[in-house]
Structure 1
Amino acid sequence: MRLSGSRPTATLLQSSRQRRWISDGRPFAPGDLVILRQKIDRSAPPILTKPLKPGRRIEGHKGIIQHDDIIGKRVRDIVKSSTTRSTRDPTEYRLHEVTLDEYTRLSRRLVTPIYPADANLIVALLDLHPDAGETEEVAPRLEILEAGTGHGALTLHLSRAIHAQNSGIRIGSEDVDEWKAHRRAIIHTTDISSQFAAHAQTVVEGFRRGIYARNVDFHVGDVSEVLRSLQACRDTRSFLSHAFLDMPAADAHLATVADALRTDGTLIVFNPSITQVISCATKVKEQGIPLDLEKVVELGVNGGSGGREWDVRFVRPRSEEAPLRETPPSDTDTDSGHDGDASPELRSPVSAADRTWSLVCRPKVGERIVGGGFLGVWKKQRDMRAESNQPSP
């Protein structure tokens, strides 16, 4: 199910064009978001305002700040809180533009977000290079699936990463639907919960007047069903450039997602436990899903997000790989008339059907494991069977 927009289309298109940059120094206006930091105590948590509105105010233990005192001021100006206690001095706050990092951490949430350091790592693993001048004749449209919208934090980071691809679109009307029809890059984000999806849409639309909202299509429902409905509207089944799964039982959707990925497209699966990544890798191996495990990265190592890489791979036990060898006879060999223990140097051949796989799973560096989750990174393999069935030119 496609999630309809919560704001009028013309308003969203117009507001996204009212871009504010730190360098231009224009005053804050109604509808802007502002970060307030205490001038003296820099260790105090910052305050994220609601969209500025005349008559609205911010109440806290340090006093009250009127939105009217912020409107008209510029970045790094000072405002003071007012208090009813005559013995308490007013607290001074410095005004700042809201960064994407601060917005995703401080905006109201219904679920735990993917934090900025991890979101930046995920975007980096996708290795995106948007080009506003790229046409459909040069390369297919860039389409990315995010399964598990959640708070919308990663949605915003992904949309920012592809935004340049759509920056060159020029149409003669203010209709958002017409503009979307000309997009060269799209984020398809889906969540099983309509409540979470609707909240995430307001989060995405709330950052800098919805500057990145038009790049995103929100869906509600099972990810496999959403993908099949998107495939039905296209000439090819493999239309996704990349995909990211952050959901329970992600392994149940691997085959469907792989079918929708283009050759060499990246699939990243987030799991809280390394055993869940192993379950995905095992299913890919056992079912012959055309995905190649490139790496496994641990998030949140030692309180940060360095992306420590793990060694996760399938190997065959040596007993199945060793060639058939016989030990030379020795003087101690006797013919006792019964079968003894087989020589350790004798390896029986194993048929392909009887071969089993073992799994190596260990961190590549370091000893201590302090993690916030794991990313399994796969690449879509080329379908050699389909190519072999094509007629020769």
Structure 2
Amino acid sequence: MLLRRAVLTPPRLQRRHLSTFAPGDLALLRPTKSDRNNSYASPILTKPLSPTGRVETHKGIIPHSAILGKQRRDVVRTNISNSTRDGRGKGSGGAGGQEYRLHEVKLEEYVRLTRRLVTPLYPQDAGLIVGLLDLHPEPPRWGDGKEGEKLEILEAGTGHGALTLYLSRAVHGANMPFPRSRQEEGGEEDGAIAVEQWKASRNAVIHSIEISDKYSSHARTVVDGFRHGMYTPNVDFHVGSVSDITSSLLTSRNNQPFLSHAFLDLPGTEQHLGIVAKALKVDGALIVFCPSITQVMACLETVKTEGVGLEMERVLELGVNGGTGGREWDVRAVRPRAARQHSATGMDSVRDGDGENGNREDSGVELSSGGEEDGRGDKKDEGWKMICRPKVGELVVGGGFLGVFRKKRL
């Protein structure tokens, strides 16, 4: 398979105008409460503002020129006439039309309202994943001759780009400001050199991998579109197989682990665990997102049977329609003592139903989530059975699952 790394050419980043809306900004329009029949209507996300652009609603048109120069929380109206261009009219009378209040676009709203080719992770779920990684990026330092540990995170697949944005925002403070002035004021060659020098100095990088060129390109557009692309330079977009690209990155680093953490959301996740774990630093988190619990179990089975250097830490269930905050499941690999006692003689002593309830006192099994308890490290074990049940005492809801693994010290 031919691998291609999407070229990182950050857009010409513009300075954001915090006081007023300027060309290139996005705006969020919410119906005002003056119209009770429409106060609960969905908000409208504009395209990048331009003097000739306009917003079309079911109650009329708002030209971008009526938004440019306005402040946050100012009011604009559809079908605006010259007498009401300042947006200060009350009610829905006067020039007619619907009133909308202007807001700056938050990341959560941007993810939900941008055009999608694939279903994005819900903002609550993306926030939970970033929280599980427990990121603490160190700000860049000058003059002391010391460099903090480089933070590199792998994300596969990129999909809509929602999690890419959340991850990039989380590590943004670890990198020096992007060289806007040199890119804008210098020539094309000077700007390219400045970009390459800045990339080499990054203390935090998101490696976002997507098998589909079309989806990767669209995700790049989504990331570029938020706040003038301020989070784009932190991301290296790659197109191709997760295993192939990870192997290539490993080779370029003399086969030394370089990933601080990894997140996998793609079909056949268990097929990529070995190479990703090899690239992961000790104690780094590898989180898999799976639509069904059986897929998480397949990942755990691969870890156990193939001796992958990972240890399962926890399994969380994500809810539908925005998430639940992570309901915990009990997913473990168990190996009956009878199988251990007779493995030397080649006898198969595993019986159906052994250890189904995961109880140490009455099941007569050795419990393990990562393979370290039996002292045999990464040896391939046979006779493992799976425990899979929700943690008791909590509300059962639907949704996908997160399996959280940690890299063991070999």
Q: What TM-score does the superposition give when structure 1 sets the normalisation length?
A: 0.82
| TM superposition shift of 1:181 | 1.2
Give secondary structure in 2 for the equivalent of 1:382: coil
Q: Where in structure 2 are the equivalents of 1:2-81 lying within 5 Å?
A: 2-5=5-8, 9=10, 11-12=11-12, 14-15=13-14, 18-21=15-18, 26-40=19-33, 41-81=38-78
| TM superposition shift of 1:177 | 2.2
Contact kept in structure 1, 2:140 and 2:203, CA below 8 Å: no
Of 42-51 and 159-168, the range deviating more from structure 2: 159-168
Please point out which of 199, 202, 224 is paired with 2:218: 199
CA 1:170–1:111 in 2, change beyond 3 Å: closer, same or farther? Answer: closer
CA 1:286–1:133 in 2, change beyond 3 Å: closer, same or farther? Answer: same
- Asked if residue 256 in structure 1 is aligned to residue 283 in structure 2, the reply is no
Please point out which of 329, 333, 347 is paired with 1:310: 329
Q: Deviations over 1:250-301 (max 9, x none)?
A: 1000000000001111000000000000000000000000000000010017
Q: Deviations over 1:292-320 (max 9, x none)?
A: 00000100179632201111111223544
| TM superposition shift of 1:221 | 0.2
| TM superposition shift of 1:138 | 4.8
Q: Where in structure 2 are the equivalents of 1:69-148 lying within 5 Å?
A: 69-82=66-79, 89-133=96-140, 137-148=146-157
| TM superposition shift of 1:42 | 3.1
Q: Deviations over 1:305-342 (max 9, x none)?
A: 2201111111223544789xxxxxxxxxxxxxxxxxxx
| TM superposition shift of 1:70 | 0.3
Q: What TM-score does the superposition give when structure 2 sets the normalisation length?
A: 0.78
Q: Deviations over 1:186-238 (max 9, x none)?
A: 00001000000000001001100011000000000001111112122224430
Give secondary structure in 1 for the equivalent of 2:308: coil
In structure 2, the partner of 1:331 is none
Say which one has the larger Rg.
1
Give secondary structure in 1 for the equivalent of 2:5: coil
Unaligned ranges ≥5, structure 2: 82-92, 184-193, 343-363, 365-378
Give secondary structure in 1 for the equivalent of 2:39: coil
CA 1:196–1:303 in 2, change beyond 3 Å: closer, same or farther? Answer: closer
In structure 2, the partner of 1:373 is 400
| TM superposition shift of 1:131 | 1.1
Unaligned ranges ≥5, structure 1: 324-346, 384-393
In structure 2, the partner of 1:342 is none
Q: Report the Cα distance in structure 1 between the residues aligned to 2:242 and 2:180, rounded to whole angstroms.
A: 32
| TM superposition shift of 1:169 | 7.2
In structure 2, the partner of 1:387 is none
Identity %: 55
Q: Report the Cα distance in structure 2 between the residues aligned to 1:52 and 1:172, rounded to whole angstroms.
A: 23
Contact kept in structure 1, 2:29 and 2:102, CA below 8 Å: yes
- Asked if residue 362 in structure 1 is aligned to residue 380 in structure 2, the reply is no
Q: Report the Cα distance in structure 1 between the residues aligned to 2:250 and 2:323, rounded to whole angstroms.
A: 39
- Asked if residue 287 in structure 1 is aligned to residue 314 in structure 2, the reply is no
Letter in 2 for 1:37: R
Q: How many residue pairs are counted as aligned between the two chains?
A: 345
Q: Report the Cα distance in structure 1 between the residues aligned to 2:392 and 2:321, rounded to whole angstroms.
A: 13
| TM superposition shift of 1:58 | 1.2
In structure 1, the partner of 2:361 is none
In structure 1, the partner of 2:409 is 382
Q: Report the Cα distance in structure 1 between the residues aligned to 2:239 and 2:404, rounded to whole angstroms.
A: 25
